Amino acid sequence: MIAKPHSALILVGHGSTVNPDSSAPTFDHAAEIIRRGLFAEVHCAFWKEEPSLRQVLHMVDAEEIYIVPNFISEGYFTRTVIPRELELTGPVTERDGRVIKYCEPVGSHARMTELLVHRAAAVAPGVPPEKSTLFIVGHGTNLNDNSAIAAKREVELIAAQGRYAEVRNAYMEEEPLISKWDEYSTQPNVVVVPFFIADGLHSYEDIPVLLGIAEESPGAASANASGVFANNPYDRRGRTLFYASAIGTEPLFADLVLEQVAAFDAAHAVPA
Protein backbone atom coordinates (compact mmCIF):
# COMPACT_ATOMS: atom_id res chain seq x y z
CA MET A 1 0.00 0.00 0.00
CA ILE A 2 1.31 3.40 -0.97
CA ALA A 3 2.19 5.71 1.94
CA LYS A 4 3.16 9.35 1.46
CA PRO A 5 3.42 10.81 4.98
CA HIS A 6 4.98 14.06 3.72
CA SER A 7 2.81 14.59 0.66
CA ALA A 8 -0.58 16.07 -0.05
CA LEU A 9 -3.25 14.45 -2.20
CA ILE A 10 -5.90 16.49 -3.97
CA LEU A 11 -8.91 14.77 -5.52
CA VAL A 12 -10.49 16.89 -8.23
CA GLY A 13 -14.18 16.47 -9.00
CA HIS A 14 -16.56 18.26 -11.36
CA GLY A 15 -19.18 19.20 -8.76
CA SER A 16 -22.42 21.00 -9.51
CA THR A 17 -24.15 24.26 -8.65
CA VAL A 18 -27.52 22.49 -8.87
CA ASN A 19 -27.25 18.88 -7.72
CA PRO A 20 -26.18 18.24 -4.10
CA ASP A 21 -24.90 14.72 -4.81
CA SER A 22 -22.36 15.42 -7.56
CA SER A 23 -19.51 16.10 -5.15
CA ALA A 24 -20.41 13.28 -2.72
CA PRO A 25 -18.27 10.47 -4.19
CA THR A 26 -15.20 12.72 -4.34
CA PHE A 27 -15.67 13.75 -0.69
CA ASP A 28 -16.40 10.13 0.28
CA HIS A 29 -13.26 8.73 -1.36
CA ALA A 30 -11.17 11.53 0.20
CA ALA A 31 -12.62 10.79 3.65
CA GLU A 32 -11.76 7.10 3.23
CA ILE A 33 -8.17 7.92 2.23
CA ILE A 34 -7.85 10.32 5.20
CA ARG A 35 -9.10 7.50 7.44
CA ARG A 36 -6.28 5.28 6.20
CA GLY A 37 -3.70 7.92 7.21
CA LEU A 38 -1.53 7.47 4.12
CA PHE A 39 -0.94 11.14 3.24
CA ALA A 40 0.01 14.17 5.33
CA GLU A 41 -3.01 15.95 3.86
CA VAL A 42 -5.95 15.06 1.65
CA HIS A 43 -8.14 17.73 0.07
CA CYS A 44 -10.88 17.93 -2.54
CA ALA A 45 -11.31 20.57 -5.23
CA PHE A 46 -14.05 21.15 -7.76
CA TRP A 47 -14.76 22.95 -11.01
CA LYS A 48 -18.29 23.97 -9.97
CA GLU A 49 -18.11 23.84 -6.17
CA GLU A 50 -15.81 24.87 -3.36
CA PRO A 51 -12.99 24.60 -2.68
CA SER A 52 -12.35 25.61 -6.26
CA LEU A 53 -9.33 24.70 -8.31
CA ARG A 54 -8.18 28.30 -7.81
CA GLN A 55 -8.41 28.02 -4.03
CA VAL A 56 -7.24 24.53 -3.20
CA LEU A 57 -3.47 25.02 -3.39
CA HIS A 58 -3.79 27.58 -0.58
CA MET A 59 -5.08 24.76 1.67
CA VAL A 60 -1.89 22.77 1.28
CA ASP A 61 1.18 22.83 3.52
CA ALA A 62 3.14 19.98 1.90
CA GLU A 63 5.76 20.67 -0.75
CA GLU A 64 4.87 17.58 -2.78
CA ILE A 65 1.31 17.49 -4.10
CA TYR A 66 -0.39 14.71 -6.07
CA ILE A 67 -3.45 15.71 -8.10
CA VAL A 68 -5.84 12.89 -9.06
CA PRO A 69 -8.85 13.80 -11.22
CA ASN A 70 -11.93 11.92 -10.03
CA PHE A 71 -13.22 11.80 -13.59
CA ILE A 72 -14.54 8.86 -15.57
CA SER A 73 -12.13 9.40 -18.47
CA GLU A 74 -9.49 11.56 -20.07
CA GLY A 75 -11.13 14.50 -21.78
CA TYR A 76 -11.79 18.22 -21.84
CA PHE A 77 -11.67 18.61 -18.07
CA THR A 78 -8.56 16.54 -17.44
CA ARG A 79 -6.65 17.89 -20.43
CA THR A 80 -7.81 21.52 -20.55
CA VAL A 81 -9.71 22.79 -17.52
CA ILE A 82 -7.77 21.25 -14.61
CA PRO A 83 -4.26 22.02 -15.96
CA ARG A 84 -5.34 25.57 -16.85
CA GLU A 85 -6.96 26.35 -13.50
CA LEU A 86 -4.09 24.84 -11.48
CA GLU A 87 -1.51 26.41 -13.86
CA LEU A 88 0.18 23.08 -14.53
CA THR A 89 2.96 22.89 -17.10
CA GLY A 90 2.93 19.11 -17.56
CA PRO A 91 2.84 15.92 -15.51
CA VAL A 92 5.31 17.54 -13.10
CA THR A 93 5.05 21.27 -12.30
CA GLU A 94 7.62 22.92 -10.06
CA ARG A 95 6.52 26.28 -8.69
CA ASP A 96 7.15 28.35 -5.57
CA GLY A 97 9.12 25.57 -3.88
CA ARG A 98 6.44 23.00 -4.61
CA VAL A 99 6.29 19.98 -6.86
CA ILE A 100 2.84 19.26 -8.28
CA LYS A 101 2.34 15.83 -9.78
CA TYR A 102 -0.62 15.42 -12.12
CA CYS A 103 -1.90 11.85 -12.23
CA GLU A 104 -4.20 10.07 -14.68
CA PRO A 105 -7.94 10.23 -13.98
CA VAL A 106 -9.38 7.49 -11.81
CA GLY A 107 -11.61 6.18 -14.60
CA SER A 108 -8.62 5.43 -16.83
CA HIS A 109 -7.37 2.78 -14.43
CA ALA A 110 -7.24 -0.78 -15.77
CA ARG A 111 -9.25 -2.02 -12.77
CA MET A 112 -12.34 -0.09 -13.93
CA THR A 113 -13.43 -3.21 -15.83
CA GLU A 114 -13.29 -5.26 -12.63
CA LEU A 115 -15.28 -2.60 -10.76
CA LEU A 116 -18.00 -2.46 -13.42
CA VAL A 117 -18.43 -6.25 -13.30
CA HIS A 118 -18.43 -6.13 -9.50
CA ARG A 119 -21.14 -3.46 -9.49
CA ALA A 120 -23.25 -5.32 -12.06
CA ALA A 121 -23.13 -8.51 -9.99
CA ALA A 122 -23.92 -6.64 -6.77
CA VAL A 123 -27.06 -4.96 -8.15
CA ALA A 124 -28.49 -8.27 -9.47
CA PRO A 125 -27.51 -10.90 -6.91
CA GLY A 126 -28.19 -14.48 -7.99
CA VAL A 127 -29.16 -13.44 -11.50
CA PRO A 128 -27.32 -15.62 -14.04
CA PRO A 129 -25.09 -13.48 -16.30
CA GLU A 130 -25.52 -15.98 -19.14
CA LYS A 131 -29.18 -14.95 -19.22
CA SER A 132 -28.49 -11.24 -18.84
CA THR A 133 -27.72 -8.23 -20.99
CA LEU A 134 -25.35 -5.75 -19.36
CA PHE A 135 -25.55 -2.11 -20.45
CA ILE A 136 -22.80 0.37 -19.66
CA VAL A 137 -24.41 3.81 -20.08
CA GLY A 138 -22.38 6.89 -20.90
CA HIS A 139 -23.30 10.48 -21.65
CA GLY A 140 -22.32 10.85 -25.31
CA THR A 141 -22.11 14.05 -27.34
CA ASN A 142 -20.52 16.64 -25.14
CA LEU A 143 -17.12 18.20 -24.78
CA ASN A 144 -16.02 15.23 -22.75
CA ASP A 145 -16.73 12.71 -25.51
CA ASN A 146 -13.74 10.61 -24.51
CA SER A 147 -16.02 9.13 -21.87
CA ALA A 148 -17.96 7.47 -24.72
CA ILE A 149 -14.75 5.96 -26.06
CA ALA A 150 -13.79 4.78 -22.57
CA ALA A 151 -17.23 3.24 -22.04
CA LYS A 152 -16.93 1.43 -25.36
CA ARG A 153 -13.52 0.06 -24.37
CA GLU A 154 -14.93 -1.23 -21.09
CA VAL A 155 -17.79 -2.97 -22.90
CA GLU A 156 -15.32 -4.74 -25.20
CA LEU A 157 -13.23 -5.88 -22.23
CA ILE A 158 -16.24 -7.18 -20.29
CA ALA A 159 -17.65 -8.89 -23.39
CA ALA A 160 -14.28 -10.62 -23.93
CA GLN A 161 -14.66 -12.26 -20.52
CA GLY A 162 -17.63 -14.19 -21.96
CA ARG A 163 -19.56 -14.06 -18.70
CA TYR A 164 -22.61 -12.06 -19.82
CA ALA A 165 -24.79 -13.22 -22.68
CA GLU A 166 -24.62 -9.67 -24.08
CA VAL A 167 -22.67 -6.56 -23.16
CA ARG A 168 -23.78 -3.32 -24.80
CA ASN A 169 -22.96 0.37 -24.84
CA ALA A 170 -25.75 2.91 -24.64
CA TYR A 171 -25.86 6.68 -24.38
CA MET A 172 -28.25 9.35 -23.23
CA GLU A 173 -28.06 11.52 -26.31
CA GLU A 174 -26.79 9.40 -29.16
CA GLU A 175 -27.36 5.96 -30.66
CA PRO A 176 -27.56 3.41 -29.31
CA LEU A 177 -29.99 5.28 -27.05
CA ILE A 178 -30.53 3.88 -23.57
CA SER A 179 -34.23 4.70 -23.95
CA LYS A 180 -34.39 1.86 -26.53
CA TRP A 181 -32.75 -0.65 -24.18
CA ASP A 182 -35.33 -3.33 -24.97
CA GLU A 183 -34.52 -3.12 -28.70
CA TYR A 184 -30.82 -3.62 -28.06
CA SER A 185 -31.17 -6.60 -25.73
CA THR A 186 -32.52 -10.13 -26.15
CA GLN A 187 -32.05 -11.56 -22.66
CA PRO A 188 -34.75 -11.89 -19.96
CA ASN A 189 -32.58 -9.97 -17.45
CA VAL A 190 -31.17 -6.52 -18.12
CA VAL A 191 -28.53 -4.91 -15.87
CA VAL A 192 -27.76 -1.21 -16.36
CA VAL A 193 -24.61 0.38 -14.88
CA PRO A 194 -24.13 4.16 -15.37
CA PHE A 195 -20.60 5.08 -16.44
CA PHE A 196 -20.67 8.25 -14.34
CA ILE A 197 -18.82 9.52 -11.30
CA ALA A 198 -21.84 10.50 -9.20
CA ASP A 199 -25.54 9.82 -8.80
CA GLY A 200 -26.08 13.33 -10.02
CA LEU A 201 -28.32 14.89 -12.62
CA HIS A 202 -27.69 12.33 -15.38
CA SER A 203 -27.50 8.98 -13.65
CA TYR A 204 -30.13 9.64 -10.99
CA GLU A 205 -32.51 12.13 -12.55
CA ASP A 206 -32.31 11.58 -16.33
CA ILE A 207 -31.51 7.93 -17.05
CA PRO A 208 -34.30 6.44 -14.86
CA VAL A 209 -36.81 8.40 -16.96
CA LEU A 210 -35.18 7.17 -20.19
CA LEU A 211 -35.30 3.58 -18.90
CA GLY A 212 -38.99 3.94 -18.07
CA ILE A 213 -38.53 3.22 -14.35
CA ALA A 214 -39.42 6.78 -13.30
CA GLU A 215 -42.29 8.85 -14.70
CA GLU A 216 -40.45 12.09 -14.17
CA SER A 217 -37.17 13.15 -12.58
CA PRO A 218 -37.16 11.70 -9.06
CA GLY A 219 -35.13 14.66 -7.75
CA ALA A 220 -31.76 14.44 -6.07
CA ALA A 221 -30.63 10.98 -4.94
CA SER A 222 -29.86 12.14 -1.39
CA ALA A 223 -33.45 13.33 -0.99
CA ASN A 224 -34.82 9.92 -2.02
CA ALA A 225 -33.36 7.25 0.22
CA SER A 226 -36.14 4.87 -0.76
CA GLY A 227 -36.01 5.86 -4.41
CA VAL A 228 -34.80 4.36 -7.65
CA PHE A 229 -32.29 1.79 -6.38
CA ALA A 230 -34.46 0.46 -3.54
CA ASN A 231 -37.14 -0.61 -6.03
CA ASN A 232 -34.93 -3.00 -8.02
CA PRO A 233 -35.75 -5.11 -9.95
CA TYR A 234 -38.26 -3.51 -12.31
CA ASP A 235 -40.61 -5.49 -14.53
CA ARG A 236 -40.59 -3.46 -17.73
CA ARG A 237 -41.21 -4.24 -21.39
CA GLY A 238 -41.35 -7.97 -20.69
CA ARG A 239 -37.94 -8.07 -18.94
CA THR A 240 -36.50 -7.88 -15.45
CA LEU A 241 -34.47 -4.67 -15.21
CA PHE A 242 -31.81 -3.86 -12.58
CA TYR A 243 -30.49 -0.31 -12.32
CA ALA A 244 -27.20 0.30 -10.48
CA SER A 245 -25.82 3.37 -8.76
CA ALA A 246 -23.15 5.28 -10.75
CA ILE A 247 -19.87 3.40 -10.93
CA GLY A 248 -18.05 6.32 -9.27
CA THR A 249 -19.93 5.76 -6.01
CA GLU A 250 -18.22 2.37 -5.67
CA PRO A 251 -16.13 2.43 -2.45
CA LEU A 252 -13.32 0.60 -4.29
CA PHE A 253 -12.75 3.89 -6.18
CA ALA A 254 -10.65 5.04 -3.21
CA ASP A 255 -8.22 2.22 -4.03
CA LEU A 256 -8.03 3.34 -7.64
CA VAL A 257 -7.15 6.89 -6.53
CA LEU A 258 -4.20 5.49 -4.59
CA GLU A 259 -3.21 3.23 -7.46
CA GLN A 260 -3.14 6.23 -9.83
CA VAL A 261 -0.65 7.89 -7.45
CA ALA A 262 1.48 4.72 -7.46
CA ALA A 263 1.20 4.52 -11.25
CA PHE A 264 2.38 8.12 -11.53
CA ASP A 265 5.45 7.36 -9.41
CA ALA A 266 6.22 4.24 -11.46
CA ALA A 267 5.91 6.15 -14.72
CA HIS A 268 8.04 9.09 -13.55
CA ALA A 269 10.62 7.24 -11.46
CA VAL A 270 14.06 8.78 -11.55
CA PRO A 271 16.64 6.07 -12.35
CA ALA A 272 18.91 5.42 -9.35
Partner 1 sequence: MRSVLQTLSDWLAAGGHSIGQIHIAAQGAGFQLTHQDDRERTDLAARTGVEAARELAHYDDAGKFRPLKTAPNLRHGWRLSVADLPELRRALDYFYPAMLGVWLSQSRGELTPVPLRETLARQTGMYRVTQLITDEQAQEMIGTHCRLDGGCLKRILWPLAPDVPLSSLSAEKLDPTAPAGTLPLLCHEACNLLVAKAREVVKKAQQQQ
Residues that bind partner 1 (CB under 8 A): 16-20, 27, 31, 34, 43, 47-52, 54-56, 58-61, 76, 80-81, 84, 96, 143, 220, 223
Minimum separation from the CB atom of position 77 to partner 1 (A): 9
Q: Distance from CA of residue 140 to its chain's centroid?
A: 15
Residue number, 34 or 165, with CB nearest to partner 1: 34
Q: How far is the CB of 19 from partner 1 (least distance, A)?
A: 7
Q: For partner 1, which is the closer residue by CB, 109 or 202?
A: 202
Is 17 or 266 the residue whose CB approaches partner 1 more closely? 17
In the complex, minimum distance from the CB of residue 55 to partner 1, in angstroms, rounded to a whole number: 4
Query: Which residue number, 47 or 184, has a Cβ lying nearer to partner 1?
Result: 47
Rounded alpha-carbon distances, angstroms, from residue 207 to 31, 42, 53, 217, 245: 28, 32, 29, 9, 11
| 82 contacts: CB under 8 Å, gap ≥ 6 | 12, 47, 53, 67, 69, 88, 102
Q: Sign of dihedral through CA atoms 267, 10, 58, 62?
A: negative
- Range 34-63 burial, b when 16+ CB lie within 10 A, else e: eeeebbbbbbbbbbebebebeebbeebebe
**Least spacing, CB of residue 5 vs partner 1, in Å:** 14
| Closest CB 272 distance from partner 1, rounded Å | 29
Indicate the residue among 6 and 268 with the shorter CB distance to partner 1: 6
How far apart are CB 58 and partner 1 at their closest, in Å?
A: 4
The residue among 60 and 214 lying less far from partner 1, judged by its C-beta, is 60
